[in-house]
């Protein structure tokens, strides 16, 4: 079955960088659309970035220019490179996957990981 496992979260000072990984099994990342989402305490889950099966990408306005989504088909892994981190980036980050790009964009992907915590604080 499809499984997603995030890693790479942690604590970092403002201005720092982190790279999140999402290892996929049960399907090939080259054939699915995938995305990163985040949820901060007391807030709704929000989309961060999406990469479609054709490798086209889209970003939330709040992270554009700072975050980069990518995937390594050989490693069957999704990444999120996060630079110039801000305290407001603090959240649990989740990866998601679906064979329909619209479901990923709409936050309705069928498959989700368990999440990895990112904390940005001085």
Find the distance separating the first CA and the last CA of the chain, reported in whole Å: 41
Residues 16 and 120 sit within 8 Å (Cβ to Cβ): yes
Predicted confidence at residue 30, as pLDDT, reads 84
Whether the predicted pLDDT of 29 surpasses 90: no
Which whole number is the average pLDDT over 42-57? 95
Task: Report helix, strand or coil for 81.
Answer: strand
């Amino acid at each position: 079955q499809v499984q997603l496992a995030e890693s790479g979260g942690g604590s970092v000072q403002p201005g720092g960088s982190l790279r999140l990984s999402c290892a996929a099994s049960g399907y090939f990342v080259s054939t699915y659309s995938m995305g990163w989402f985040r949820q901060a305490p007391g807030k709704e889950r929000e989309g961060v970035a999406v990469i479609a099966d054709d490798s086209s990408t889209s970003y939330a306005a709040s992270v554009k220019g700072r975050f980069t989504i990518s995937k390594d088909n050989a490693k069957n892994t999704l990444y999120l490179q996060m630079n110039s981190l801000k305290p407001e980036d603090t959240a649990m980050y989740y990866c998601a996957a679906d064979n329909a790009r619209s479901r990923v964009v709409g936050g309705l992907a069928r498959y989700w990981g368990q999440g990895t915590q990112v904390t940005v604080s001085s």
